[in-house]
Amino acid sequence: MYKRILVPIDGTDTARSGLKEAIELATQQKAAIRLLHVVNDFPILMEMSSAINFEQYSDGLQQYGRKVLDEARALVESTGVACETQLETLKGGRVSDAILKEVRSSACDLIVIGTHGRRGFQRALLGSDAEAVLRESPVPVLLIRAPGTVG
């Protein structure tokens, strides 16, 4: 039986699919949900031109993250499931590392994460945070495929 479910969210349809599954599971298990949004400044920093103000852009990413968390929390709480949120900022590193750090520090006993199901060149280029979490997680991981993904 699960007591606390970690759900990484990023505002995509894939993450929403994962959240919906997590809500259903939490309802059945009488578990709480911990939502995590990771802001990763590093890729933006690498691509920034001098004309863009990094602090303003970073603030925008933080605001977006809070909005994503607030919307997801409202959805979870509307179902009667207890919910906590965490906004984490990375200054380099992998999103998967932030997810794994959070699962260890928050005593969650399951991760429910949406996966885009990328293959081939896209996967090599973009990587797979979900796969890294699956490989390295100390707790069970439930992967939810992106809507419309085949395979």
Q: Kindly report, residue by residue over 45-94, the tens digit of the pLDDT.
A: 445 554 456 677 778 889 999 999 999 999 999 999 999 999 999 877 88
115-132 burial code (b ≥16 CB/10 A, e <16): bbbbeeeeeeeeebbbeb
At residue 48, what is the residue type?
M
Q: For the sheet containing 83-90, what is the strand order? A: 83-90, 32-40, 4-8, 110-115, 141-145
Q: Answer for the pair 14, 144: CB distance below 8 angstroms, yes or no.
A: yes
Q: Is 90 helix (H, G, I), strand (E, B) or coil?
A: strand
Q: Answer for the pair 99, 111: CB distance below 8 angstroms, yes or no.
A: yes
Determine phi and psi for 48, rounding to 5 degrees.
Answer: -75, 140
pLDDT of res. 110: 98
45 or 37, which is more confident?
37
Q: Which domains does the chain have, with CATH numbers?
A: 4-145 (3.40.50.620)
Summarize the confidence of residues 114-125 as an average pLDDT: 54
Helices (H), the chain: 13-29, 42-47, 54-78, 95-105, 120-126, 129-136
pLDDT of res. 150: 55
Mean model confidence pLDDT for the chain: 85
32 or 129, which is more confident?
32
Confidence tier at 115 by pLDDT (50, 70, 90): confident
pTM for the full model? Answer: 0.85
Q: Enumerate the β-bridge partners of residue 111.
A: 6, 141
Helix (H) and strand (E) counts for the chain? 6, 5
Confidence tier at 97 by pLDDT (50, 70, 90): very high
